[in-house]
Structure 1
């Protein structure tokens, strides 16, 4: 499924994978979220509810451009740098080329189908 993230008038396209967690995330759209920086690697925001993660891998190796759910905290993570393998990270999809750079400093983002 294709989604669009808009911040400061700039649009970034992304594609969600076909996982149950990604479909659950899509069911929340549209969303407007306030992003904050985490470890100079990712932009994070709280979601209105936790996503269903049944059947998801227990960990992932996030890369710049990944859109993910961090199950232990229940937040969305948009990676603008590669990160080490982490338990509880569920990859939901991927930003289009150049999207990670646009979102690296984003504050408010609107995400829609």
Structure 2
């Protein structure tokens, strides 16, 4: 069976495309396994590190995992702190760190839920949500409370020591 010249061009193009995308392998490389770990594609981010903080007041402890973002890192850099938390709209407890947190690369806003730790940039306050709330412009997600949410719900205003927890 004879193949016309025009029918061979697509096949040749496909073969060239496949060969150009395959990595070159030398005969010595295939004889011994590589000691290097496989490369991670650039679109896959390494696992983000989690920073843990404690908020201690009146014999109670709240533990929160913070996200690895500029705002959370800036908060952790200020620790330890003693802050006065006050109830705000029967939804969250708020307190003011000594200086505003960095907010570069932060989204325009955030929709917090029960247990969210956040930063409200216009006022410069931390917010510990013990009830669900709607989207708020300029609210930055710092992380989530992993234990002690009941203590937060029951407390009114309180002075607390906020510290980084080292695992």
Interval containing the TM-score (normalised by the shorter chain): over 0.9
Equivalent residues of 1:3, 1:112 under 8 A apart: yes
Higher helix share: 2
User: Which residue does the alignment assign to 2:26?
Assistant: none
- Please, which runs of 5 or more residues in structure 2 have no aligned partner? 1-50
Residues 31-70 of structure 1, C-alpha deviations (whole Å, 9 max, x = no match) = 1111111111000011101100000011000111111100
Larger radius of gyration: 2
Counterparts in 2 of 1:1-113, with a 5 A limit? Answer: 1-97=51-147, 99-104=148-153, 105-106=155-156, 107-113=158-164
Instruction: Note the C-alpha offset of 1:85.
Output: 0.3
Structure-2-length-normalised TM-score: 0.65
Corresponding residue pairs, total: 112
For 1:42 and 1:62, the matched residues in 2 are separated by 10
Q: Secondary structure at the match of 1:52?
A: coil
For 2:61 and 2:68, the matched residues in 1 are separated by 22
Select the structure with the greater relative contact order (CA < 8 A; seq sep ≥ 6).
1
For 1:5 and 1:44, the matched residues in 2 are separated by 12
Moved over 4 A (4+): none
- Please, which runs of 5 or more residues in structure 1 have no aligned partner? none
Q: Secondary structure at the match of 1:51?
A: coil
Structure-1-length-normalised TM-score: 0.94
